[in-house]
Structure 1
Amino acid sequence: MDHTHEEEKRLKGQIEMWEHIYAFVDSMTLKCAVELGIPDIINSHGRPITVSEIINNFPTTTSSSSSPNIDYLTRVMRLLVRKRIFSLHIDEKSNQIYYDLTPSSRWLLRDSQFNLSPLLLAQLDPWLLKPWQYMGKCVKEGGLPFEKAHGVEIWDCALANPQFNHLFNDAMRCTAEIIINAVLVKYKDGFNGIESLVDVGGGTGIMISEIVKANPHIRGINFDLPHAVATAPEQQGVEHVGGDMFVHIPEADAVITKWILHDWGDEDCVKILKNCHKAIAKKKNGKVIIVDCVLRPDGDGSFDNTAFAFDLVMIAHTSGGKERTEVQWKTLLNNAGFPRFNIIPIPAFPSIIEAFPE
């Protein structure tokens, strides 16, 4: 009996290891489908369609000798059906196979308000995949995987390479829209009583603009590096201000940051948070609204596994960034002069961490 049990455990371990080794196939096959525009092609028909109909809607190629490989596409769709990205229907009369969208693939539609395709394409682009090849070296010897892969840190790379900058910004924009919607749904009362709000690291002002639209009583300040705000579109009720969050942050009733602090190590985060503290110091009920991940080591929530994966993304792509547990957030906030805080879950990957100076 014991021998049989041990053999079953060994077999289970082998099965799991095979799945881990080839987990990248799922992601790369999904990237293939997005690059081909398959979710959009199915959606444009408004009904389940065949492989031939998918192929007939591919953009025409310049080479007269090239033609789509039906066998390849059939096998791509077979895997993605198994992974519940698409659904499969068989016509009983004709025995024809039809493919349709699922709740998962609807998040990949380019014309949808909430679309994760840009994030998928960015994370699986060679620019962002290459640093992972240096993870082991950096664990052993120190250093930054992205810098070892490309010779510069990610922010310098974005400045020097317009194509990568565009890819990266599109990914950030699509996630911003999803997260902002979740914030406005779950935290709408949190903006009551705020007359001025500064978005630290707000980029082109997407988040602060949406907050001001939903809360017209707020005067919004979009704060980022000068080159970042230089291309920001004019928005009613929003002022774009260039500067450096490590030096000074404009005064306001409240400060909000989204996916900023996870890009930096603890020492840098304390510097940023202390400047946030100064920005609200003259306000009676000042607070800092942090939209970032809270790691739950024993958590089994919908986004907990993604959070741990994202923590490793911070190693691969940033200069000391990390995702933090509640205990780590408490230490960080205390060191910056915020002894009291609340964690508010939202229907998205990050949470809201509401921090108060007293």
Structure 2
Amino acid sequence: MQAKTWVLVSARLVIIHRTHSRRHNTMVVLSSEDDSRELLQAHVELWNQTYSFMKSVALAVALDLRIADAIHRCGGTATLSQILGEIGVSPCKHASLRRLMRVLTVSGTFDIQPSSAPAGTTSSESDGHEPVYKLTTASCLLVSSNSGGESLATASMSPMLNHVLSPFRDSTLSMGLTAWFRHDEDEQCPFTLMHGATLWEVSEHDDAVNASVNNALAADSHFLMQVVLKEFSEIFHGIDSLIDVAGGLGGAAMAIAAAFPSLKCTVLDLPHVVATAPSIFIGNVQFVAGDMFESIPPAKACLNKSLSI
């Protein structure tokens, strides 16, 4: 088996590495002389605005699952395991509930007291060492009048918030999220449970979805490769062949090939994606239809533009 160099290029990782936290109150007109750091800062701002609605999605799910009621019934504090038991959700959703609660604690809806587990142990080893989640003033307003716990003096805002948050339940990214939490299996993602197929399977049969996904990924590649080739071009030195795994329409590979004409680039993606590629062979860029989970053609380096961990 031929050894490969794995080049992991993630827009999110590069942003974390290259971006400072400074903000600008004046309008910035971008030019060719702009520093990559400024571009990445702008990139961060746009992603922050784009995903800001996830706080509303998380709040809507918390209302649907009645998490505030669950914590209230436990006396105002509860571990993840206790919350799961109170809301009737399978223990297989423990990690996913932790992620949901992370959003809700960062936004201030709930508070968290870190685990006091001894060094060398994990929260999964003992319920007594799990982080404890607490009601805040904000989440006290989410406790319903029929929560089952001790009556609170404050009136519940849940009915009003449920009404206002209705549009967020219909978002492409959040649709079916509550149903997924209540589903006893963890193999399927929320999108698959709702649509009966993965996003990639849907795009294979829906031309509009396929075009939207490919155009989005191509735009991301076009932006990212400008920065990568300017700031990290040394990672491509000494490589004579590279395969872009799940490379879509080849935007990243073509940018690399243009910067390094002697580097032979191959784009691997699913057949329905390659079918819409500009050409099967462009200069030193070649497109190959296949499944990366079955086989990856040989090359000295493999490129993964984005990884979800």
Please tell me the TM-score bracket, short chain as reference.
0.3 to 0.5
Compute the TM-score of the two structures, normalised by the length of structure 1: 0.38
